[in-house]
Amino acid sequence: MNNKKLVFSGVQPTGNLHLGNYLGALKNFVLLQKESKCIYCVVDLHAITVFQKPETLRSNILETTAGFIASGLDPVKSIIFNQSSVSGHAELAWIFSCVSRLGWLNRMTQFKDKAGSDKEKASVGLYIYPNLMAADILLYKATHVPVGADQKQHLELSRDIAQKFNKDFNCAGFFPLPEPLIPKNVSRVMSLRDGTKKMSKTEESDYSRINLKDSADDIEKKIKKAKSDSSVIPDNIKSLENKPEAFNLLSIYSEVSKINLDKVLKEMSGKDYSYVKKNLTDLLISEICPVGKEIKKLMGDKTHLENILQKGSEKARIIAEENLKNIREKIGLI
């Protein structure tokens, strides 16, 4: 156990967890819990930056918790809790809203994507969302943050906020500058229908993603229908440059099979894409379906999931309160 490393990450409870969340984040969460102290959070306050039906949100918080456990997180080894149950997240987010600069937030590409063309109608919460994300991480003085590539810019903002706070309040090293841990091979799993867009919970077509709760039948149908390429599989990565869907399928296969992409291409070159699709389907069914089944089973005992969150919140609150006390002191609050 490396005691200096403290891992924090979060997942929004906004619907079905999918293969992007699994390969980009959850699998890494599980690996990290073997060697480090880890805190994993169901970030419900982030979810409400866009309207959520209360009943749906309640259920999604529990389902995301079930997704954590079903993927292999152990609530004894790692702290697992939901963000809103530790009020320090909201308090530190306010403090950071006073440290963070408008110019920094104006550069956030995810806000631009999510707010769409009518920014006037986006919630203020959506705009200052990255300040809350910095608060999540720095409330625990986390040093490492496993995320997919889409969160890289937010992580950079967290580092900027930490650095400015340390400088403004003359306390070098008070907040660590958190390092992103981004998977090397598939840092961004793309939509199965459009290889230029990331796989996401909110994409309208369910055929664009593999959900962790999909049945073997669903997975087979979705991979069969996934866009690929009309020519055969090439023998080198460069030839995939303008073929985002083909690159995506082969990269997912490489990640799930644990065979590096060069080797996959050597083995499969000259074959058509139905070949990789068949192999990928088999692998996904054996890796994803057990996770989905476990999520469904865990959702049958909501009290158990609520207990996990409650115990995790108690542990998180102790660390958060201690750190907040020092943060308030640094600022001059009494």
Catalytic residue status for 198: yes
| 3-state SS assignment for residue 116 | coil
Q: Using CB under 6 A, which residues numbered 137 to 156 contact ligand TYM?
A: 137, 145, 147-148, 150-151, 154
Stretch that binds ligand TYM, among 129-137, 213-221, 279-287, 313-321 (CB under 6 A): 129-137
| Closer to ligand TYM by Cβ: residue 198 or 277 | 198
Q: 22: Cβ–Cβ under 8 A, 6 or more apart, which residues? A: 71, 212, 288, 291
d(CA 254, CA 257): 5
Catalytic residue status for 114: yes
User: By CB neighbour count within 10 A (0-12 exposed, 13-18 middle, 19+ buried), where does 125 fall?
Assistant: middle
Stretch that binds ligand TYM, among 10-18, 48-56, 249-257, 272-280 (CB under 6 A): 10-18
List Cα–Cα distances, 245 to 18, 60, 145, 192, in angstroms: 17, 30, 28, 7
Residue 56: CB minimum distance to ligand TYM, A: 15
Convert residues 197-216 into a mask of x (bound to ligand TYM by CB under 6 A) and - (unbound).
Answer: -xxx----------------
Among 198, 213, 222, 227, the one annotated catalytic = 198
In this structure, the number of other CB atoms found within 10 A of the CB of residue 267 comes to 14
Length, in residues, of the chain = 334
Q: Judged by CB under 6 A, which of 44, 136, 214, 245 binds ligand TYM?
A: 136
Q: Is residue 49 a contact residue for ligand TYM (CB under 6 A)?
A: no
Question: What is the 8-class DSSP label of residue 175?
Answer: S
- Residues forming the site for ligand TYM (CB under 6 A): 8-12, 20-21, 24-25, 43, 46, 133, 136-137, 145, 147-148, 150-151, 154, 188-189, 198-200
